Amino acid sequence: MNPELPLRRVAIIGVGLVGGSFALALRKAHPDVFLAGSDADAKALAFAKANHVIDQALEHASEAAADADLVVIATPLVALPAVFGAIATTLSDAALVIDVASTKESVVAAARAHLGAALSRFVPCHPIAGSEQSGVAAARADLFDERPVVITPLDETAPPALRLVRALWMSLGAVCHEMAPGAHDRLYAYLSHAPHLLAFGWMALAARTPRLAESFELSGSGFRDFTRIAASSAALWADIVIDNRAAIAELLEQHVEGVTALREALLAGDRAHLLAVFGEASRLRRSLP
């Protein structure tokens, strides 16, 4: 075991795609670690135990967190305040706490409200490694391999806690980046949250137009890629977009303005306007590494 990472016992709160993958990746990189898990879904928890994703299944987050060196909160976003409150009662004095939620400002606010003395050992994290899949059955040990993890430290975050969490992600193959929680939320409104809403919206349009939905077998790879994220969990994403609503709403307003202008150019046959917009978009997209 890495002496910088003295992980004896780790609690995984929420054994879904990300929590389960974290457990698998952690066991692969640190074979001696003992993994305790909890999940509000008893079936998912039993599946995780039966498939050796975790070593011990516990009903309550507070039990799993007790005596852990590291608590990984990987529940749906809306459960985080309650989980912070529950684990605060049993956390040991040296335990590190991380989350893996898709938004960061509200998570930081909930941590401030509920974690008490453990706040300095809480490091907010967002691994950019999800997919349209969810659930522990889709978990993979290599989910974080060469993927970015955005870490949004608080002013109160203790430097050793931050250092240990960075080392932890690196040991799982991830590449760490740091930014402020607000900057994170504005960036991912553009890179992830609003695109999910737009993809859901585009599919919903077909759901109300039978002749379209019946012809999906005639779609190409462009349509399949454009709409892939619309297969994501509706409930998880309703909560994520509500959580980051201000940043997303601002982007949607700009999007509606841009699409309205493109529509007017289209109807006017204004090829120059279309070419200017498509051209700057195409150049930028081709530059994406």
Q: Which of residues 213-242 bind a copy of itself (CB under 8 A)?
A: 213, 215-235, 237-239, 241-242
Q: At closest approach, how far in Å is the CB of 202 from a copy of itself?
A: 7
In sign, the C-alpha dihedral spanning 256, 260, 261, 262 is positive
Under rule CB under 8 A, residue 198 binds a copy of itself? yes
Q: At closest approach, how far in Å is the CB of 23 from a copy of itself?
A: 21
Closer by beta carbon to a copy of itself, 110 or else 115: 110
Under rule CB under 8 A, residue 204 binds a copy of itself? yes
| 3-class DSSP state of 56 | strand
CB-based contact 101:80 (threshold 8 Å): yes
Q: At closest approach, how far in Å is the CB of 145 from a copy of itself?
A: 13
Q: At closest approach, how far in Å is the CB of 131 from a copy of itself?
A: 7
Q: How many residues bind a copy of itself (CB under 8 A)?
A: 89
Angle between the N-to-C axes of helices 245-267 and 234-243, in degrees from 0 to 180, rounded to the nearest 10: 100
Q: At closest approach, how far in Å is the CB of 4 from a copy of itself?
A: 25
Of 13-21, 49-57, 111-119, 190-198, which part binds a copy of itself (CB under 8 A)?
190-198
Q: Which of residues 74-133 bind a copy of itself (CB under 8 A)?
A: 128-132
Q: Which of residues 247-266 bind a copy of itself (CB under 8 A)?
A: 248-249, 251-256, 258-260, 262-263, 266
Q: Hey, which residues does 175 pair with through a beta bridge?
A: 148
Helix (H) or strand (E) holding 11: strand 9-13
Q: At closest approach, how far in Å is the CB of 262 from a copy of itself?
A: 6
Q: At closest approach, how far in Å is the CB of 13 from a copy of itself?
A: 23
Best CA proximity match to 188, nearest among 263, 102, 282? 102
Under rule CB under 8 A, residue 167 binds a copy of itself? no
Q: At closest approach, how far in Å is the CB of 5 from a copy of itself?
A: 25
Best CA proximity match to 105, nearest among 159, 177, 183? 183
Q: Which of residues 28-57 bind a copy of itself (CB under 8 A)?
A: none
Closer by beta carbon to a copy of itself, 46 or else 251: 251
C-alpha distances (whole Å) from 73 to each of 11, 21, 78, 265 are 8, 13, 12, 48
Q: Which of residues 137-166 bind a copy of itself (CB under 8 A)?
A: 147-148, 150
Which residues contact residue 70 at a Cβ distance below 8 angstroms, ignoring those fewer than 6 apart? Answer: 7, 10, 11, 95, 96, 97, 98, 168
Best CA proximity match to 245, nearest among 54, 103, 79, 108? 103
CB-based contact 44:16 (threshold 8 Å): yes
Closer by beta carbon to a copy of itself, 94 or else 223: 223
Query: If 0-12 CB within 10 Å is exposed, 13-18 middle and 19+ buried, where does residue 84 land?
Result: buried
Between CA 282 and CA 63, with CA 133 as vertex, the angle to 5 degrees is 130
Closer by beta carbon to a copy of itself, 92 or else 134: 134
Closer by beta carbon to a copy of itself, 83 or else 229: 229
